[in-house]
Amino acid sequence: MKLSKLIIGMSLAMGLVASAAAQTTMKISISVAQNSHQGVGIDTFAKEVEKRTAGRYKVQTFYSGSLGAERESIEAVQLGTQELTMTSTGPIPNFVPETKILDVPFLFRDKAHARAVLDGPIGQELLATFEPKGFKALAWGENGIRHMTNSKRDVKAPEDLKGLKMRTMENPVHIAAYKGLGIVATPMAFTEVFTALQQGTVDGQENPLSVIMAAKFDQVQKHLTLTGHVYSPAIFLMNKAAFDKLSAADKTAFVESAREAAKANRARVDKDDANGVAELRSKGMTIIENVDKARFVAALAPVNAGFEKDFGKANLDRIRNVK
């Protein structure tokens, strides 16, 4: 009896050792804080992967650029020194030029339109363009609709932007558009922005409400204008070689985990958009809510003509016409 118990005990112990040894750990990172729309995204992703693979895969989560800024994280995933990242699409065109089209100002009517595009055929076609570049793009997430903040003055019309030194993402489409508005565009990694604003290296920046709140920009910026000038996607990226090594069932688990994480991420963006104005106003920001967007669109007419030439009017209209 004792011997059989001993054998059973040893078998269980060996089983536990084997299952522990079989667990694979991966890393995923974001450049913003854990208490944010992207934090919710990667926390949900990690939980879902562990659940859907019965604990065989564990995803460690890293926040606030602790593994590097967005561009560095994307490079690390491409090289395979890091398995996963969730990033805004700001630096993505430097790696996958086909995605540049998503950054055209005032291309999307609202979040619902953008989500319909990304979740439909156009979004799926764009996800496929990542593969030749060494990535498996698992799912589109969301950063949100971008607005402008600065420390100098209220911005009520495009003319008010002239001469403002604004941090922009390291993104060629954004830089061209902001120069067209008379902004002194200053490309900079997100991890450097708070200090640059604090020290007056730049006057302002532009980001969705979710990011403005998560980064505590209200501490270094007085004026916010709800320009809604660009929709900013986010994306869950995985090193393609690491993805290709997964079994068919685990590949499905990772993709479905990313889609579930994107839902949680978008829900947090919606919550932040609903509460953001009141919260930021309570922290002392002056907020211009009603903006004549037609004037901003008109100011960008020469730049947009260039975008139509670069991307093709038919391609832009295909996005604009999604219902």
**pLDDT per residue of the chain (323 residues) written in tens, 0 to 9:** 555 555 555 555 555 544 444 799 999 999 999 999 999 999 999 999 999 999 999 999 999 999 999 999 999 999 999 999 999 999 999 999 999 999 999 999 999 999 999 999 999 999 999 999 999 999 999 999 999 999 999 999 999 999 999 999 989 999 999 999 999 999 999 999 999 999 999 999 999 999 999 999 999 999 999 999 999 999 999 999 999 999 999 999 999 999 999 999 999 999 999 999 999 999 999 999 999 999 999 999 999 999 999 999 999 999 999 99
Contact 143, 88 (CB under 8 A): yes
Instruction: Reduce the DSSP state of residue 79 to 3 states and report it.
Output: helix
Under 8 Å CB-to-CB from 21, ≥6 apart: which residues?
A: none
> How far does Cα 297 stand from its chain's mean position?
24
Structure tokens at 10: 């040893």
Structure tokens at 126: 């764009």
Contact 88, 251 (CB under 8 A): no
CA-CA distance, 197 to 151, in Å (whole number)?
8
Structure tokens at 280: 């930021």
CB atoms within 10 A of CB 10: 10
CA-CA distance, 236 to 86, in Å (whole number)?
5
Question: Measured at the alpha carbon of residue 265, what is the angle toward residues 22 and 245, in degrees to the nearest 5?
Answer: 30
CATH architecture of 2-320: 3-Layer(aba) Sandwich (3.40)
Residue (of 163, 215, 209, 164) closest to 189 by Cα position: 215
Measured CA distances, 135 to 47, 88, 92, 242, 316 (Å): 22, 15, 11, 9, 25
Exposure string for 18-27, b = 16+ CB within 10 A, e = fewer: eeeeeeeebb
Q: What is the pTM of this model?
A: 0.91
